[in-house]
Amino acid sequence: MILAIAILCVGGQRSNADIEARRHNAAYFSPTMERMMRATDKELLGYAGSLQPEMRGAAVSEIVDRKLKSAAPVLAKQLDPAAKDRNIKGTLQALTISALGRLRNPAAIPALRKTLKDEILGTRIASAYALANLNDKASAAGIRALFPKMKEPMLIPLVRKLGEFKDKPSEPTIRNVLLHAHYNALRAVAAESLGQIRAPQSLNALLVGLKDDYPDVRCASANALAKLGDPRAVPALKIALAETSPQSANAPQKERESKAAIEEALKVLAAG
């Protein structure tokens, strides 16, 4: 269920053309979806409070498709601890939280900060994605606290967002991801985020990333080292430039990008 929640929270919005095409063909969808597509905005808000998962899911999907930011305060009220919805564990609440994140209305932030501390793990994870979508830097600590409980592919957007926040307290957590994650795409994003944070203590981890088996991690590490601007990285960069990553045959384009990034990092550090 947690993975499904993650997909809901980070999934992109449909294009306007797709939305109109769906409405035009509403009769071919389930009766519930057809009802949502034909509902007024006011009716949708009522359906979004339903305790029936199918009803709420369809309403939330349509609200997000219509980009009804005005729905955010109404949806946020459903997350209040006193609301009857609290008696329904997990999925219904996660659907509401997902919508709040995708609507990107800052009015939802206070309610989402509360659900980030919820007793249900899926609710906390959904809240982390939503707050990341809302660029809530103040929630960085709560977001990274969830990392040990999440599967590696699910961490990618959150690690990237913490880098965009330039959140220095997150540096040790992201550095640990670079050093210990099994998933190379996650290691690459971690290196990229360390470059955005630009903390001096990231140097050694990025030097390890520069020797990674995968060229995408080497590329991201080289870019990050250039941003870090520490000349102590020069010897390792020269060695990396002369080497070929073990996975280069599986990703020749990324290998070329890696070499270009290393060369650029050497130029930057030489100029500095």
Please give, one letter per residue, the 3-state secondary structure of the chain. Answer: CHHHHHHHHHCCCCCHHHHHHHHHCHHHCCHHHHHHHHCCHHHHHHHCCCCCHHHHHHHHHHHHHCCCHHHHHHHHHCCCCCCHHHHCCCHHHHHHHHHHHHHCCHHHHHHHHHHCCCCCHHHHHHHHHHHHHCCCHHHHHHHHCCHHHCCHHHHHHHHHHHHHHCCHHHHHHHHHHHHHCCCHHHHHHHHHHHHHHCCHHHHHHHHHHCCCCCHHHHHHHHHHHHHHCCHHHHHHHHHHHHCCCCCHHHCHHHHHHHHHHHHHHHHHHHHC
| CA–CA gap between residue 237 and residue 246 (Å, rounded) | 17
Question: What pLDDT score was predicted for residue 1?
Answer: 47
Q: Which residues of the chain have pLDDT under 70?
A: 1-14, 19, 22-29, 81-90, 272
Question: How many CB atoms within 10 Å of residue 166?
Answer: 14
| CATH number 1.20.1560.10 is the correct assignment for the domain at 1-150 | no
Rounding to the nearest 10 degrees, give the CA dihedral for residues 244, 246, 251, 252: 30
The pTM of this model reads 0.86
Q: State residue 183's pLDDT score.
A: 98
pLDDT given at position 27: 62
How much is the pLDDT for 7? 44
Cα gap 202→207, rounded to integer Å? 9
Tokens of 177: 């991801």
Which residue, 212, 215, 200, is CA-closest to 257? 215
The CATH classification number of 167-272 equals 1.25.10.10
Portions of the chain given CATH number 1.25.10.10: 1-150, 167-272
pLDDT of res. 25 = 67
Supply the pLDDT for residue 91.
Answer: 73
Q: How far is CA 31 from CA 19, 26, 54, 68, 83, in A?
A: 17, 9, 11, 22, 28
CB 192 within 8 A of CB 224: yes
Cα torsion 202, 205, 207, 211: sign: negative
List the structure tokens of 137. Answer: 């830097």
pLDDT value, residue 13? 56
Task: Give residue 61's pLDDT.
Answer: 87
